[in-house]
Amino acid sequence: MSKENKKIKYEIRAKDALMLNLRALKLFRKLSPWHIELEVLDKIHQTLGYYIGIYVTARIVTELATLRRPKTLLFWVIIMLSQELFVRMIHYTIFHIQQVKGNFMNERRWNLIDKKLSQMDYVDAERQGVRDHYFKIRQDEEWTGLGFSAGYSFIYIFSDIANILGAIALSAGFVFLKVPETAPGAGILNSPLTILAIIAVIALISRGAVILGSKAWKLYKEMNDSATLSNRVFWHTVNIPKDESRALDMRIYDQRSLLIHMRRQSVDQGFGKKAAEYWAGKGGIMRAIQNMSTHITLGAIYFIVGLKAWAGAFGVGQVTQYIAAITALTSHITNLAYRWQDMRLNAVNLKYAFDFLDIKNNMYQGSLSTEKRSDRQYDIEFKDVSFKYPGTEKWALRHLNVKFKVGSRLAVVGENGSGKTTFIKLLCRLYDPQEGQIFLNGIDIKKYDYQDYVGVFSVVLQDYFLPAQPIGENVAGSKNYDRKKAEKCLIDAGFGERLKELPQGLDTYLYKEFETDGVQVSGGEAQKIAIARALYKNAPFIILDEPTAALDPIAEAEIYSQFDGIVGNKTAIYISHRLSSCRFCDEILVFEDGSIIQRGSHDSLVETDGRYKELWYAQAQYYKDEEKRRQMDKERAAAGI
């Protein structure tokens, strides 16, 4: 094997690896001040305690083997116990602080990565490649302890250095104390060359252990990387059965067998299996050789220290001291070498994590503040806007021209795939148009600070998310909130009657995930809570993207007509394929294939031949039937049938 082949091949240059580790250190110090300093302090202080312990034990053994003076023995025992007590006290104090701080550090690292995902350009955030990147960083953190989670382990270099210094101080006597000239083999045992030979053997064995260790770690890392997809599939199969909303599909279509198949496959190609194969093969052999080398080193140390003691260089007390000190010296010199290699190998994972954090934000660069106008005079204009989704050729919106002013009611109708949702996505700047511009009060929306800009909108999407938290907190989006206002919003959104029935009112937990007496609301009720949340935000624009899809058409129309009053002076944009809900709007835009094919009030559109009129008459019959059915139900109920 050539010399080059024996070397560990690093993917990152030493200098870059160092810079990445330092960058990580800087980041963690910022995320959790004093965490790292305390950790180093704890390690150094424990090291000190360890060597005091070795020294004192040697003194006690010597005293027991020689003069056995009770006072001296008592003195050393008291020193031993008090140092132990002192070391433990400091350690547990630091440990206590560290536990709290440590949790913060982990939590903050996660927050950082999550924040990045939620604030990057939406176009990037929804890309599968970026999602894979995110998942891999998480996998490194949670499964293999690589990347950021190993990002500051190199600071234990300080602990190794402290250990090496302590061990040298306690083993110096072994080098300098000479065997009496009369003893057999004194010449060899006292020769500096013998000491040098011992050092050389220890260094060689350590070096071998480090090379093996690094190779093992590299293989382990490669295994981790190759198992990313199967890990993701595995977690998918674990999470789906827990998701109540999928329970029916799971049963009706026996999706369980599909999931079992996916899980089987992911396990077959997953990390666990690869790790098992690894330990049963190369990994196990490397670990065995490593352990053997440690034991050989230890044996050599025992042998040589024992030999010198037997020849009369020092007493039995020093034997314990020298063996402990030289063993520690060997292992910490090895550790020191490991640390550097770990740093270099982990640098690849650190780079991966930093590459994620460094994904450029090209979209949200604006800095203008949306004027907090007390008159809420905001207007929006789409000027010749065209848009196609990244990676597609088809225009999802084409030459859109719309202007809507404050207080107006705008309805966007059209069949599935006509571009209604895309229109809202552009309005909320999830994407920027390829052609044309969108203006808020005459200024291109790209120029506004993004957080400020989205603050102008309340949106109720079809696919909203309500966390399993108390209803009031859901509505307000916060722990501390105005209870009266939350209640009013729920009543306005049509949830008032149901709220009255709930024994804990606003404090009732949604769903039973975290509280057994949580409330399991229906799809329609959940939508009302989502609407209440939009009302609570009290933004000048309120957008409802088919939010009432879970309601029957009449109930939907009722909500919309009430909504008109609730919305008040806000600008409302309703998106619906049910035309009855849009009747009361000032202007209706009819979308088809990404373009507006008709616009006007309900009365004018219904009298004009065109798509709207066609759809209206097609749907009207259904509403009439529905109304008739309801009326009959009411009459039956009144008659007690």
Residues that bind ligand ADP in the complex, under the rule CB under 6 A: 389, 392, 396, 414, 416-422
Amino acid at residue number 463: D
Task: State both tokens at 496.
Answer: 């008032």
Dihedral (CA of 613, 615, 616, 621) sign: positive
**Counting Cβ atoms within 10 Å, is residue 225 exposed (0-12), middle (13-18) or buried (19+)?**
middle
Minimum distance, C-beta of residue 598 to ligand ADP, in the bound complex (Å): 15
Q: What is the CA radius of gyration of the chain?
A: 36
Closest CB to ligand ADP among residues 56, 615: 615
Give the list of residues 6+ apart from residue 119 with CB closer than 8 angstroms, or none. Answer: 361, 364
Minimum distance, C-beta of residue 38 to ligand ADP, in the bound complex (Å): 47
Closest CB to ligand ADP among residues 424, 539: 424
Minimum distance, C-beta of residue 419 to ligand ADP, in the bound complex (Å): 4
Closest CB to ligand ADP among residues 128, 367: 128
Minimum distance, C-beta of residue 422 to ligand ADP, in the bound complex (Å): 3
Closest CB to ligand ADP among residues 392, 516: 392
Whole-number Cα distances in Å, 231 to 126, 141, 257, 507: 20, 13, 19, 38
What are the CB-based long-range contacts (under 8 Å, 24+) for 557-563? 557/581, 557/583, 557/623, 558/494, 559/493, 559/494, 559/528, 559/531, 560/584, 562/492, 562/494, 563/531
- HSE toward the beta carbon, residue 147, CA cutoff 13 A: 26
Minimum distance, C-beta of residue 50 to ligand ADP, in the bound complex (Å): 60
Closest CB to ligand ADP among residues 117, 300: 117
Whole-number Cα distances in Å, 33 to 21, 27, 105, 258: 17, 10, 9, 48
Closest CB to ligand ADP among residues 293, 418: 418
Closest CB to ligand ADP among residues 94, 400: 400
Minimum distance, C-beta of residue 398 to ligand ADP, in the bound complex (Å): 11
Minimum distance, C-beta of residue 87 to ligand ADP, in the bound complex (Å): 60
d(CA 457, CA 541): 5
Nearest to 450 by CA among 568, 367, 572: 367
Closest CB to ligand ADP among residues 125, 199: 125
Minimum distance, C-beta of residue 428 to ligand ADP, in the bound complex (Å): 13
Nearest to 202 by CA among 307, 287, 301, 71: 301
**In Å, how far from its chain's centre is CA 637?**
54
